Structure 1
Amino acid sequence: MNVSHGSQVNWQQYADKALAGECLTVEESLSVLQADDKELLPLLHAAYQVRHHYYGNKVKLNMILNAKSGYCPEDCGYCSQSSISGAPIEKYTMLNKDEIVAGAKEAVSRKAGTYCIVASGRGPTERELGEVLDAVKEIKQEYKLKICTCLGILKDGQADRLKEAGVDRYNHNLNTSAAHFDRITTTHSYEDRVHTVEETKVAGISPCSGCIIGMGETHEQVVDIAFSLRDLDADSIPINFLNSIPGTPLENMKQLNPRYCLKVLALFRFICPSKEIRVAGGREVNLGQLQPLALYMANSLFVGDYLTTNGQEISSDHQMIEELGFEIEECCV
């Protein structure tokens, strides 16, 4: 379906459906992504009503620690840390417990309520998992931080051990639709990712799973990943916008503009109305001066640097939130 220029869609009906717990149809979902730019503000207003219903004007802040950089055997085309990447990144093995704990103190100083411990690789070795488990136990004794770990594909029993240590949330993104997945990576499957998310849910850990937009997928595939994340019942959904890094297979992929990124966020708010929608990696590059508008759909964002790319200054994020009249949701001491 293509929405013709000049056509008018009643976006309020989309908000009403979302608030009533009804899912948009595929046709309605495509109309969000294909909306005329002249309809952008009414569309954002409708999506904001859904966001406000569940989260008011609160904004959750999250900070990433890149606990292990590079040395990854996987072939993900978007990633500067993959085995096929030629990007000139810093590489190091898993940080020790004290270094991971120190990152928690930094998260508190940035007013982040969630501290995300991320490590490259297919999955954690026993030594790597041990460092994370010991660090999480100590962090939980010192701070009221929510701890999210992102360690790749888990082996049997590892999710239970993370839960016992105090991990609140586990991130494992689906990244893209099942139909597009093999064009992005071939060393593991879409089903592998779904299985890991399901395993963390069984262990009692809150599931965090999202996507990367701008990797050559179609509008239909964007809608498909939104529906898949709704079905997966992920509590937190990070929406990344491809930051095409020189040296990666997707270095020349440039298909996004700020207005389309906002439409994507609106779509996810309608499809997953009660979930934490986080505007994540690539927001600075792809949203540019329209970044503040993202918070009319997203109720969460990362502050500081990402894994191998720089983020916006912390003070700029805090100022952006304050000037919008929004409020940081703090949960740490």
Structure 2
Amino acid sequence: MNWLQLAQEVVEGKVISDQEAISILNCDDDELLLLLNGAFHIRKHYFGKKVKLNMIINAKSGYCPEDCGYCSQSSISTAEIEKYPFITKEEILEGAKIAFENKVGTYCIVASGRGPTRKDVNVVSEAVEEIKDKYGLKVCACLGILKEEQAAQLKQAGVDRYNHNLNTSERHHSYITTSHTYKDRVNTVEIAKKHGISPCSGAIIGMKETKEDVIDIARALRQLDADSIPINFLHAIDGTKLEGVNELNPRYCLKVLALFRYINPTKEIRISGGREVNLGSLQPLGLYAANSVFLGNYLTTQGQESNQDHKMLSDLGFEIELVEKQEGVFSL
């Protein structure tokens, strides 16, 4: 396969076939750099060498009634994690300050649970209005299954993006969770879109899915027209249903990132949870396909130190995409 030629065809509007998609995931390791060169050709065409930085604040930990098999906060998990109710507006603002100081462009307010209460939405709304005024950050909310009136309120407050991951293919979904449906997830993304909030939805790779499942989720996200696509690589946590699952290696993870770039050429592909564990020393290569990455810690697992990520980007010769209030304040 001539990966660079395929990449140019994608730039010209081609939608790759299932045969080409499976060839990406089955790419011989000896051709991996050629595959990534093709992915970078697409990435550079649409995004240049800019990288978007994101940071999470875990606004509510544990106490979730859902039974998601990957999650340490679920009702069936016995993982030892910190549990606490929804944090205060002041704590959310303090997290935004840390994000701003770390050159982060998108600040993600994430909470466990099936969906937010009225009080939760009020706290987030009040915090977002101040974040916009003080720091100018983009704000992504991830609060679970969303209702129409909640989406309208979040939009009014200034929430730019709403995240609700599809996580896996529709075919594989019931293996991962039974307390809500795949269509519930799709519906939440559609509600966010309906109210003018940018849709963010992605996948978790390494949950005993097939390569065909990976292709299906990449195509589903294209059909959903998600603006931002976070790609998580399973970091199996003791006490969860997927405890001990370890199907990934760094080279396959890079092929997955390339696949998502070839299928979703114009979208923000974000390297997300589990990158440190699963990509290891090959993390920098992931940014030849992806154009976005999380800094800091995740929900209940530790991330890489932010200064290491800043150095990685500097070593790659990539440019951090700053928000307006950061322009002139920072330099690499």
Determine if the TM-score, normalized by the shorter chain, exceeds 0.5.
yes
Alignment pair present for 1:75 and 2:67: yes
Alignment pair present for 1:99 and 2:122: no
Deviation sequence 1:291-327 (CA, Å, 0-9, x none): 0000000000000000000000111000000001111
TM-score by length of 1: 0.97
Q: Which residue of 2 aligns with 1:191?
A: 183
Identity of aligned residues (%): 65
Q: Specify which of 232, 247, 256 is matched with residue 239 of structure 2.
A: 247
Q: Does 258-267 or 132-141 show the bigger shift?
A: 132-141
Q: Which residue of 2 aligns with 1:177?
A: 169
Residue aligned with 2:320, SS? strand
Q: Which residue of 2 aligns with 1:64?
A: 56
Deviation sequence 1:127-156 (CA, Å, 0-9, x none): 111111111111111111000000000123
Deviation sequence 1:210-253 (CA, Å, 0-9, x none): 00000000000100000000000000000000000111010111
Q: Which residue of 2 aligns with 1:321?
A: 313
Query: Which whole-Å CA distance do the structure 1 matches of 2:154 and 2:234 have between them?
Result: 29
Query: Which whole-Å CA distance do the structure 2 matches of 1:90 and 1:14 have between them?
Result: 47
Alignment pair present for 1:32 and 2:8: no
Query: Which whole-Å CA distance do the structure 1 matches of 2:260 and 2:150 have between them?
Result: 30
Q: Which residue of 2 aligns with 1:6?
A: none
Deviation sequence 1:15-36 (CA, Å, 0-9, x none): 0221012210011100000111
Superposed, which structure 2 residues align to 1:208-247 within 5 Å? Answer: 208-247=200-239
TM-score by length of 2: 0.97
Q: Does 113-122 or 14-23 show the bigger shift?
A: 14-23
Q: Which residue of 2 aligns with 1:146?
A: 138
Q: Specify which of 66, 69, 77 is matched with residue 85 of structure 1.
A: 77
Query: Which whole-Å CA distance do the structure 2 matches of 1:125 and 1:17 have between them?
Result: 47
Query: Which whole-Å CA distance do the structure 1 matches of 2:9 and 2:242 have between them?
Result: 37
Q: Specify which of 248, 269, 289 is matched with residue 256 of structure 1.
A: 248
Residue aligned with 2:178, SS? coil
Q: Which residue of 2 aligns with 1:157?
A: 149
Where structure 1 has 5 or more consecutive residues not aligned to the other structure, the ranges are 1-8
Amino acid at match of 2:312: M
Amino acid at match of 2:117: T
User: Is the 8 Å Cα contact of residues 271 and 290 (structure 2) preserved in structure 1?
Assistant: yes
How far apart are residue 13 of structure 1 and its match?
2.6
Query: Which whole-Å CA distance do the structure 1 matches of 2:159 and 2:85 have between them?
Result: 21
Query: Which whole-Å CA distance do the structure 1 matches of 2:13 and 2:92 have between them?
Result: 40
Which 4+ residue blocks in structure 1 deviate beyond 3 angstroms?
A: none
Q: How many residues align?
A: 325
User: Is the 8 Å Cα contact of residues 67 and 75 (structure 2) preserved in structure 1?
Assistant: yes
Query: Which whole-Å CA distance do the structure 2 matches of 1:235 and 1:203 have between them?
Result: 15
Residue aligned with 1:228, SS? helix
| C-alpha RMSD of matched pairs (Å) | 0.7
Alignment pair present for 1:303 and 2:283: no
User: Is the 8 Å Cα contact of residues 61 and 111 (structure 2) preserved in structure 1?
Assistant: yes
Query: Which whole-Å CA distance do the structure 2 matches of 1:20 and 1:158 have between them?
Result: 39
Residue aligned with 1:153, SS? coil
Residue aligned with 2:269, SS? strand
